[in-house]
Structure 1
Amino acid sequence: MKGNRWMLSFGLLILMSASVFGCGQEEGTGTTDEIEGTYLCYVNTEEDSLARESYEIQGETADEEVEDVLEEMQKEADSIDYRSAFPDHVSVTDWSLTDGRLDLTFSDSYLRMSKGEEVLLRAALVETLGQIKGVDEVGFFTGEGPLTDSDGQEIGYMSPEDFVQNTGSTLHSYQLQELKLYFAGEKGDCLEPETVSLRYNSSTSIEKLVVEQLIKGPEKEGMLAVIPPETRVLGVSVREHICYVNFDQEFLNGAPGVTPEATVYAIVNSLTESGNVSQVQISVNGESDIQYMNRIDLGKPLTRNPDLVEE
C-alpha cells in the first residue's frame, strides 16, 4: 500500500470550498498528477491536513469498492508520517448506496470528536469515496439522525467539490470573500444586486455560502428576501459546472410579496455570478420533478436570467 505521499492543506471554508477540493503538494515533491490510479486519504502527524497514499481499490461493483475503502480507512496506517482519519473508537456501523448517494452511519462516539477531527474525517472520506464510480455524494449520520452544524442545520450531502485546496493555510484559517447576490426589488417582481463582503472559516463551499446568505436576506432597505427564513439547506454540490441545491419543504411556501420567478432566478443568478457555475438544479427533499408555485418547472437545470435584473 506504499506509494507517493501528497499533503492536502485544505482550510475550512465555512460556506464554501467553492474551488476544487484535493490533496495539495508536499514540499520537495512534484504535482498531484504524478499519482497514478486510486488512493486513500490519511491525516498527517500535525493533524491539520490530509495525505494521499496510493492504493488500488478492490471490488467489481460500487458496493464492493465502498466496502473495501471503508475497511482499509479504518485500519491503522503503515507509516509514522500519517495516521488513519478515524480517531480511536469511531467507526462506520452501517452504510447504503442509492442513486449515487452514499449514506454513512457512525458510532455514537462520532459526536465526541473535536471539530478539527470531524472535518478531517469528513474530508478524507468524501475525497476517497468520491473516486468510486457510482458515488456522487456522501451523507453523514449517527443513530440520532443526520449530522447537524452548530446552528442545528443539517450538513447535508457532500461531494469533493465541497472542500477547497488551500495550500499553506491551517485548518482554522479565515478568508475574506466578496459576493454579488440578487434579491427582489420593492415590488417583488424584479431583481436587484447587492454586494457583500464576508469573512468566513474555510470549510464549506462558496455555493453554500451564497445560498445561506440568500436565506439570511438583504442588508439594504427596499429589497426583499427571496427565500423563506425557515428554509433549511439539505445539500449544495457542484458537478460539471452545474450547482445542485437541495432545500427542505419550507422552500415551497415562497417568500412574502415575491414572485416565483424572482425567487428562482435570484438563486440561479447569484450562484452563476462567480463564473464557476453555469446552471443550477433546484430540488426539494431530493425531488426536482416540481412545478414551483405552479409556474416554474424545476425538473431540469436552469440558466441565469438577466432580464429580471434592474441595476
Structure 2
Amino acid sequence: MRKILVLATVFLMVMLFLSGCNIPWSLENGDSEGGQPNNGNGEEDNKTEVSLYFPSKDNSRIVGEKRKVIAKDDAIVKSCIEALIQGPENEELRKAFPDGTKLLSANMVGDVAIVNFSKEYENTDELDELLLRVSLVNTLTEIEGIEKVRIMVVGQELTGADGQLFGDMARIPLDSEGKPKMNDETTVVIYFSDAYSEKVAAEERIVEITQDKRIEEIIFEELKKGPETEGLDPAIPEGTTLLSVDTENGVCTLNLSKEFVDNHIGGSMAEMMTLNSIVASYTELPNIDSVQFLIEGEVREVFIHSALDSPIKREEESIKK
C-alpha cells in the first residue's frame, strides 16, 4: 500500500510540473512517413473532424477535405500532418508533401506551431513548395489555439529562394473556389528599369482589389502608369493594351496588343529591361514563377532581339537590392 502511495505521489508531481510548462504539447517522431495515424484502440470518441487542405491536380486551387483524425492526448497536430503526408481521398486532389517526408518534431510556443521535417521536404520546385506551405499552414491553423505556423527542415528554419526566412506564417484566406482571397486593399511590388538600363528597381503600391478585376490586371495597370520614382523608366510601351491574362501551374500568360512590339524604343538592353520589369512584378505574386508573352494571341519567337517563345523566369541578379 505504501509503495502505491509513493508511485501516486510521484505521478502527481510530474503532472503538476508539466501543467506549469508554457508548451501545451510536444512530440518527437522519427517515423511519420505515409500510413494511417496510429489510432490506438480505434474508438470513435478519440477522433475529431478536421479540414485537411490539399492542392488540386492541376495546381489551380487548394481544397479542404473533411477527415477524422486522432485527437487523444493532444495528438491532433501529429495526426493531421500524418494524414497530409499520406494524401487525400478525393481523386481530384493530390498530396502536397514530397515522397519520403517525415515529421521529426512538433511543439507549441504561445499560439505558434513549430513543425520540423526531414530533408525530403525540400524535394520540390518553387510552385509545389508554395502549395505545400499553404496546405500545411491552413490545415494546422484550423486547430484551436494555433494562429501561426513555423516550418523547420532538419532543425533549420525554412527560407525562400532569396534566402529570407519565412518566419511565423498566418492562415491564407481562400475563396469558395479554393483560390487565395485578396483584401479590399493590398500592397503590390512593381518594377521599373533604372536610367542606365542595368537593373530594375522596386516600387510599392497600395491598390484596391475589386470583385470584377484580377490582381494580374491590376499589376499591368500599375506598370502602365509608369514609375513614381525619379530616375526610373517606364516598362510598358505607349498604346499597349492587355488583351487577356491567365495564370495556371505557376505560369502567367500575358496576351498583349501589337503596340507592345511596334512602339518599343528598341535596343537589346531596353528590351531586356522591359521584360525583366514585367516578369519581376508578376513573380512577386506567390502563385506565379514565370511569364509567357503572347502578342495578339500568338506566341512570338522573338521580341525584336530577345526570345519570347517560352515562359520567362525571374532573374534575381537583374533586381536592384
- TM class by smaller structure: 0.3 to 0.5
Structure 2 length normalisation: TM-score? 0.44
Choose between structure 1 and 2: higher helix proportion.
2
Relative CO higher for 1 or 2, CA cutoff 8 Å, sep ≥ 6? 1
